[in-house]
Amino acid sequence: MSTIDQQLVSRVVSEVLARLQTQAPAAKPAQTSFGVYDQMNDAVEAAQRSFEKLRDDGVSARKKAIAVIRRLCVAKSQEWGSIEFEETKIGRRDHKIEKLKICGDLVPGVEMLERMAFSGDFGLTIIDFAPWGVIGAITPSTHSVPTLTGNAINMIAAGNAVVFNTHPAAAKCAAIAIRAYNEAIFQETGISDLLTTVVKPTLDTFNDMCKHPDVKLLCVTGGPAVVAAAMKTGKRAICAGPGNPPVVVDETADIKHAALSIIAGASYDNNLLCIGEKEVFVVESVADKLIAEMKAAGAVQLDAAQIEALTKKAFVFPEGKGAGCPHATVNRDLVGRDAAVLAQSIGLNVPPSTQLLFGETRADHIFVDEEQMMPFIPIVRVPDVATGIKEAIHAEHGYKHTAIMHSQNIRALTTMAQKVDTTLFVKNGPSTTGLGLGGEGFLSFSIATPTGEGVTTPMTFTRSRRCVMVESLNLY
């Protein structure tokens, strides 16, 4: 063989070997469980190692990891939505599947990251938005895999790794998704533990996670207890807390559209969403029409006696809570159950396809006051829109979460927008439009309310870092 032939053969052989190497599945690294660990400390340490590798591999590795998560959450939506539904037994299977599918498209990635530059006589300063490292995330039972999927895309886009302390009632489905995401990310990037968790999350693992020095930031999605617990840890916590979204319907509204929107929003996943409509204040002159339109659209009206019977089933009054008398808490057995199951609990048969129950109550009724998370919505008559806005603000309890209004009156819409002061304010549509489902904008299932970051994005999970070059690198 001539020297040229020999060179050609050896080049072809090395190219073929190189191609085979890139196509062959990467071998599993010795120490990994692909994100699912028995001990919280192991979960944090694995995430820290993966964070360091992600930092070394740059933004292109972030993009590859996010692309994997987007692809998988859509491809696995049927399977994972069903597994989550079977495990938690709350909400609706079709909506659990849909919530996963929409994460693929609607959760923003690295394109959302900003940077700034200042150039002048003194030189050049740039501000970059850098990762924190490992973020400790707490997810709710109401949407376990969708919340962790949205968190994962946002947090990895910002260059972080995440350790999750998931809700114990929705931990198995979360672990299945975390392992699958890591295995697929590993094939693309060689990084095995960008998302980690523990098999059995408890309050102890929550404390271990919060205390670990490698966990630099917390992101909590849940009710009042976990928000309070996270704020006491001494670490910065981004808190996506509870809501009790009121709806105001005034005399200028398109009443049929308002009725359809209220049914769509309040029945979505059996009213588990923190943004879901939880109580309605309707101006007296259009109240009968709203009720008629809701009935025409298939919602079932309960009378006063039926509402009181359901109240007794839907709330429990544990002794020792509240000031002097027991304070109501929602009965977990009815949270997120079908409208037909709520009806059945008071001896009423309604078609299994019924989306929503509703009924008239006073403004001080417990169904107005509490975040019921079930497909019964109370309707309160008010004399005018100003009273409706006042009552809505009262019912929202200053959670600064979500409010909805149906009106064609620009002045009334503006007044409510300004006074209610919520993170999301939806006008003339169902609450779900506030998260990009039929409304403009992006999605995250963690809406940071008491801490003010709003619907979380990759930018929420960054640190601002300034880099100054003195008297150089400015171009003029």
Residues within the interface to ligand NAD (CB under 6 A): 138-142, 166-168, 203, 206, 221-223, 225-226, 229, 240-243, 274, 371, 445-447, 449
Nearest to ligand NAD of 17, 225 (CB atom): 225
Q: What is the C-alpha separation between 91 and 265, in angstroms, rounded?
A: 13
- Closest contact distance (angstroms) between CB of 429 and ligand NAD is 19
3-state helix, strand and coil shares in percent for the chain, rounded to the nearest 5: 45, 20, 35
- Closest contact distance (angstroms) between CB of 460 and ligand NAD is 12
- Closest contact distance (angstroms) between CB of 456 and ligand NAD is 8
- Closest contact distance (angstroms) between CB of 437 and ligand NAD is 15
Nearest to ligand NAD of 68, 368 (CB atom): 368
Length of the chain: 476
Nearest to ligand NAD of 223, 434 (CB atom): 223
Residue nearest to ligand NAD (CB): 222
Nearest to ligand NAD of 378, 434 (CB atom): 434
Nearest to ligand NAD of 385, 448 (CB atom): 448
Residue 160 φ/ψ, nearest 5 degrees: -100, 165
Q: What is the C-alpha separation between 137 and 158, in angstroms, rounded?
A: 15
Contacts of 86 (CB under 8 A, 6+ apart): none
Nearest to ligand NAD of 142, 154 (CB atom): 142
Which two tokens mark 254?
């398109």
- Closest contact distance (angstroms) between CB of 79 and ligand NAD is 22
- Closest contact distance (angstroms) between CB of 309 and ligand NAD is 24
Give the pairing of strands 402-406 and 424-427. Answer: parallel
- Closest contact distance (angstroms) between CB of 465 and ligand NAD is 27
CB atoms near residue 265 (< 10 Å): 28
Nearest to ligand NAD of 100, 191 (CB atom): 100
Q: Which helix H or strand E contains 128, and what residues bound it?
A: strand 123-131
Q: What is the C-alpha separation between 128 and 36, in angstroms, rounded?
A: 32
Please compute, for residue 369, the number of CA atoms within 13 A of its CA located in the half-sphere on the CB side: 12
- Cβ atoms of 233 and 212 within 8 Å: the answer is no
- Closest contact distance (angstroms) between CB of 141 and ligand NAD is 4
- Cβ atoms of 162 and 151 within 8 Å: the answer is yes
- Cβ atoms of 383 and 375 within 8 Å: the answer is no
Nearest to ligand NAD of 138, 161 (CB atom): 138
Nearest to ligand NAD of 32, 205 (CB atom): 205
Q: What is the C-alpha separation between 45 and 192, in angstroms, rounded?
A: 12
Nearest C-alpha neighbor of 446 from the set 218, 173, 247, 215: 218
Q: What is the C-alpha separation between 38 and 19, in angstroms, rounded?
A: 37
Nearest to ligand NAD of 81, 140 (CB atom): 140
- Closest contact distance (angstroms) between CB of 340 and ligand NAD is 22
- Closest contact distance (angstroms) between CB of 243 and ligand NAD is 5
Nearest to ligand NAD of 81, 241 (CB atom): 241
Long-range contacts of 304-310 (CB under 8 A, 24+ apart): 304/359, 304/360, 306/346, 306/348, 306/359, 307/359, 307/360, 307/361, 307/365, 307/367, 307/378, 309/346, 309/347, 310/342, 310/345, 310/346, 310/357, 310/376
- Closest contact distance (angstroms) between CB of 142 and ligand NAD is 4
